[in-house]
Structure 1
């Protein structure tokens, strides 16, 4: 299946698509443009922004390069919830998602993809705790339908892990296990989401596709795009069956952009699979 254009505004580095289930509305980010976007509207920040979770009908928890903030969607008011590597000018936030317990996982990375500069954190009930360090490009944070495990990736070595979670409170239990190992020269795992059956839908940077993997790691199907750099998928639409996909223009040459003029736009593949409802963040 080939995805079609959903929004034709170009992002330098599109990321973090989020379908707000109570508003029936898609939000996404242009990290390099320092903006949060939705149909017909944008919020511009003075620092990089990259991922969000929903907090009630009228607010988002937004991850920025220096903190987690609560953004009021009606007034635009911002309230700092927790600092995030605020003392480290090398890093910024990247991929993130709310978990089934109302927590929020957020990855960081070097602004120049500095090797090992990033980490993955979890905000839960007022505490921001580092879960993993020495991450180069944090990505693919998503959760099993029954909450039994999380996925996360480091794009640089081409690895995706699966982490068992505590049934009680969602903290990691034991060590993560390799789910996919493409190697540094294989498909580049970027953002990902799990559907209602536990299949892993992964945007593969540089491959012009979102690839669906079964829980055993076997390939099920591809959604292809007319651009080379898909960055993150999210399920949405009235029945959560449409797959929205952010993309990027970053690092493309003028010749590349002539070949793929739609780079950086948001795409959608309609009625592709049954997605999960995104979890609400509990502040």
Structure 2
């Protein structure tokens, strides 16, 4: 089946953020805001579509790798190799745990499952060594290493029926599926879902829609694609930025696909051709999203 091609003019700028490395967008159904980070500038950001307000909070770390919503309304922020709770705008973040130590790594992509556990991975700061790993972090900060041999963790997502975990290693150019046991927090039966090792294309951040479609941003690929649960691509959306990084559904009805992007690795000539590089993009009405799970919520 030929994928549907969505015209670029339907892709609009939601926030002119100018991020070096925008990442991990999440829609909060309580605040009715979009939240995301700029990893390299160490910025935690929010956007309120109702008012147009764009708020930015800087952090003192080397990398602000990713984030998660929590049951108590705080945010869980991945700073270098530790996880920290940010309760209020004026409060300093408190450390939950140190996920990893002793390696030239940092925390990267993560997602909370339906039992309130955070699944988050590390990545090699040099982008070529298999130093990283995937971890499961429980509400009390207890950390379990699930597997290693990872270069760059990305694309963590769960199927709507909570039976499948998706995981991408961007620098291995592959996405895998695992059987997922929601009650035990166990994964098994690893198998290849999408393989770009021959072309070197880079699948990056991902999210799931209500029908079980996996939406993936392709860094250095200028597009977002939707996979059916059987692995076939049925939608390709070109975006006006070479480096889309991650996606999420948001808005009051969860029907807007937000796309973070990056200016990183683009030269001056490329940036001149891509005025929307580093901005948060939006595509309305493309699919029905699902609300994000919250860390610490055991329901």
- TM-score w.r.t. the length of structure 2 is 0.90
Q: Show CA shifts across 1:99-141 (max 9, x none).
A: 1110001111122213202111110132111112111111000
Separation (CA, whole Å) in 1 of partners of 2:286 and 2:44: 26
Contact residue 128 and residue 171 of structure 2 kept, 8 A: no
- What secondary structure does 2:189 align onto? coil
Structure 2 residue 109 is the aligned partner of structure 1 residue 95: yes
CA apart distance, 1:57: 5.8
Paired residue total: 281
- What value does the CA root-mean-square deviation take over the aligned residues? 1.4
After superposition, where does 1:1-283 map in structure 2 within 5 Å? 1=6, 2=8, 3-39=11-47, 40-47=54-61, 48-56=63-71, 58-88=73-103, 90-126=104-140, 127-172=142-187, 174-282=188-296
Separation (CA, whole Å) in 2 of partners of 1:250 and 1:31: 11
Judged with a 3 Å threshold, the aligned counterparts in structure 2 of structure 1 residues 76 and 6 are, in CA distance, closer, same or farther, namely farther
CA apart distance, 1:176: 1.2
Contact residue 65 and residue 85 of structure 1 kept, 8 A: no
| Equivalence for 2:3 | none
Moved more, 78-87 or 154-163: 78-87
CA apart distance, 1:184: 5.0
Contact residue 114 and residue 182 of structure 2 kept, 8 A: no
Moved more, 226-235 or 216-225: 216-225
- TM-score w.r.t. the length of structure 1 is 0.95
Show structure 2 runs of 5+ residues with no match: 1-5, 48-53
CA apart distance, 1:231: 0.3
